[in-house]
Structure 1
């Protein structure tokens, strides 16, 4: 399957990603948003760590990284933040817990 066909598969789809604060995870998130900006939503399962919420960690450890500079240049600072808020949904959870640490209303 070529990259164009793969990107087409993600159009209007929602994706759940674990490990997005890691090296490969943030590259994966950036790549999806760059090659298929019509992805519906990207849900990022992130642990709360040292008092930082999942949303704070995504902003600092994922979308705040230099790998997103191309996106920031493309959309501009405000447009980039709006694009991220529209597409990326941080979820506070942990793969080590049952139901990913989510309560029944979130599952």
Structure 2
């Protein structure tokens, strides 16, 4: 990402010049900072597409308009208000097939996007395990399936939740092996287990992970 102040055109900003970015999870605290930084520091960026859901109280566009009124975007509003015109809402949902994209939006993503930032997740641990799995794991799979069809894709950046690999004091930038395969976990969680069985499975997973970190 861009450093403090404006990006050096010979460095990071140059990489984004003329390129379009797709941000999933743009309404989260990291997503807001990412969008602001890209718009403020990388003047040559072409377009920033943001995946957002409609909800019962507001449309996806109305939600984005409200986000732009937050303090994090104050310097952008004051110094480079024109940059926000580069942001385009893409209505969709991580839990929907093909992210719930319209045919027009899907085609635009495939033809124009060069960088994808996936920050979308749920950290509400009161949700059913099946729903958390569908959003955090299934949603990521759907995003990657779309990325595989993008003709201009150069980078895919995934940002996990703060609770990933929480049994480690220091988390490195690498993929940590699981004691179970993803398919095994998926089969158990989505196979209709009772809550106590799911709790037992997750408890076993945490114990194994803890032992590995000692």
Aligned to 1:95: 94
TM-score (norm 1): 0.83
1:73 aligns with 2:78: yes
CA–CA distance in structure 2, aligned partners of residues 19 and 11 of structure 1: 23
2:104 alignment counterpart: 105
- Give 5+ residue unaligned stretches, structure 1: none
**What is the distance in 1 between the residues matched to 2:2 and 2:90?**
31
The C-alpha deviation readout for 1:12-53, integer Å capped at 9, x for no partner, is 100000111110000000000111022100000001122311
Secondary structure in structure 1 of the residue aligned to 2:34: helix
Q: After TM superposition, which residue ranges in structure 1, 4 or more long, deviate above 2 angstroms?
A: 1-4, 103-106
Unaligned runs of 5+ in 2: 107-214
Give the superposed CA RMSD. Answer: 1.9
Measured in 1, the distance between the counterparts of 2:64 and 2:19 equals: 20
- Matches of 1:42 and 1:2 in 2, distance apart? 15
Higher relative contact order (CA 8 A, sep 6+): 1
In structure 2, the residue matched to 1:53 is 59
Describe the superposition over 1:56-103 as per-residue Cα deviations: whole angstroms up to 9, x where unpaired. Answer: 111102x1110111112214xxxx2x4322x00011101111211013
Paired residues of 2:53 and 2:92 also in contact (CA < 8 A): yes
C-alpha separation between the residues in 2 aligned to 1:37 and 1:89?
Answer: 16
SS of corresponding position for 1:89: strand
